[in-house]
Structure 1
Amino acid sequence: MKLNHYIDHTLLKPEASPQAIIKLCQEAIDYEFYAVCVSGCYAYLAAEQVRQSNVKLAVTVGFPLGSSTSEAKVQEAKIAIKQGADEIDMVLNIGFLKAGLTEEVEEEIRSVKSVIGDRILKVILETCYLSNSEMVKACMISEKAGADFVKTSTGFGTAGASIEHIKLMKQSIGGNMKIKASGGIRDTKTALEFVNAGADRIGTSSGIQIVSG
């Protein structure tokens, strides 16, 4: 197992500078990480850096709260793809989900997927705010709406990924859907535990540390 091929090398801090994004992309190329994950304002810059490499570009949408309008999320996704994104990591509307507005949540995910075509859509559930039954529901809605991945966390909630949540998510999706674990994964041992529990991708800012062991 090559752990580097599981890693989305991530920099989403609000104070992230253009120089830091360039460094992130160079590290991803050097360590052969699967992707870099950046905020929308850096989509074009990151796309320029990784263009000649095998590293994919993932860009966040509706991040980190998930509470922007569906129209805004759709526009964000459109712009990110136009600027070179290969994947979109969107935060679902957590408040709507908890209020039982499942049709609205599903429609939003479907709308974003429809404008990005065959590119990968990851739906961030922010599991720290959800009960187990809400998590199961979020997984089912995401799958029904055509998303490719469900993802645990933004890294900005009250807690990150947990092995229990990965196992629950795994049980709640079909064979074609994948899981991204993110939030608090900072060493080799932890990363391996998540992969063994069913994570197909690891979102982390500690990628170098993880692969250097």
Structure 2
Amino acid sequence: MIDHSLLRPDLTLDEVRAGLTTAREYRTASVCVRPSDVGLAITELAGSEVAVGTVVGFPHGSSSTATKVFETGELVALGAQEIDMVIDIGRLRSGDIAFVQDEIAAVVRAARGRAVKVIFENCYLTDRQKTAGYEAAEKAGAAYVKTSTGFADGGATAADIALMRRTVSAAVKVKAAGGVRTLDALLALHELGATRFGATATATILDDLASRLANS
């Protein structure tokens, strides 16, 4: 259920390689790397079952739609298997739901069948804005709705995960990101409906799981 996150802007190439090794060793669902690291991740994870994901319009979501579409196409051509895109937060806060839906749909088309996870940065939104955004994402063909980038003022909360799961149909999955650093936190959000987790504390979480299983 974990997308091992390697998105910090200060990561060196050696640190990215170490993170990719962690993902391979712990057999995470995917890695989520910076766009410039997609080629490296494809090479380093060749032969593993770890999917390579990356981000579009990250972290603020304020790139033009054309830029997000171009970026998505380029990253898919490089081999990215999953795309985590940030919505235009200001447009959603302004009530321009049609723009948000059309932009997500454009990225979904550019992804050519790869899973698109739509990041909402929930800490900036009211519940009404969140609900409208999640509904727009489903109509646009998104595979996931996602809580946050992990780089804003807040991350995944129980209330938001519950609201996401209530709003979208079973066809759309929920990803929690931002502040999921322990096994107990992950399991609590999973109970509320999240099935993917963006995490940097992957080793800590999965070592705890292995210890509990060994002692059960």
Q: Do the structures match in fold with TM over 0.5?
A: yes
> 1:205 aligns to what?
200
Structure 1 spans left out of the alignment, 5+ residues: 1-5
Matched, 1:29 2:55: no
Q: How far 1:46 sits from its partner (Å)? A: 0.8
Instruction: Give runs of aligned pairs for residues 1-213 of structure 1, distance below 5 A.
Output: 6-213=1-208
Matched residue of 1:76: which SS?
helix
Q: Is the 8 A contact 2:121 2:149 kept in 1?
A: yes
Moved more, 13-22 or 159-168: 13-22
| Whole-angstrom distance in 2 between the partners of 1:69 and 1:136 | 23
Moved more, 15-24 or 132-141: 15-24
Matched residue of 1:114: which SS?
helix
TM-score (norm 2): 0.95
Q: Is the 8 A contact 2:95 2:129 kept in 1?
A: no
- When the two structures are aligned, how many residues end up with a matched partner? 208
| Whole-angstrom distance in 1 between the partners of 2:5 and 2:174 | 16
| Whole-angstrom distance in 1 between the partners of 2:94 and 2:27 | 41
Q: How far 1:39 sits from its partner (Å)? A: 1.0
| Whole-angstrom distance in 2 between the partners of 1:53 and 1:29 | 7
Structure with bigger gyration radius: 2
| Whole-angstrom distance in 2 between the partners of 1:46 and 1:122 | 19
Two-structure CA RMSD over aligned residues (Å): 0.7
State the one-letter code of the partner of 2:182. D
Structure 2 spans left out of the alignment, 5+ residues: 209-216
TM-score (norm 1): 0.96
Identity of aligned residues (%): 37
| Whole-angstrom distance in 1 between the partners of 2:45 and 2:189 | 27
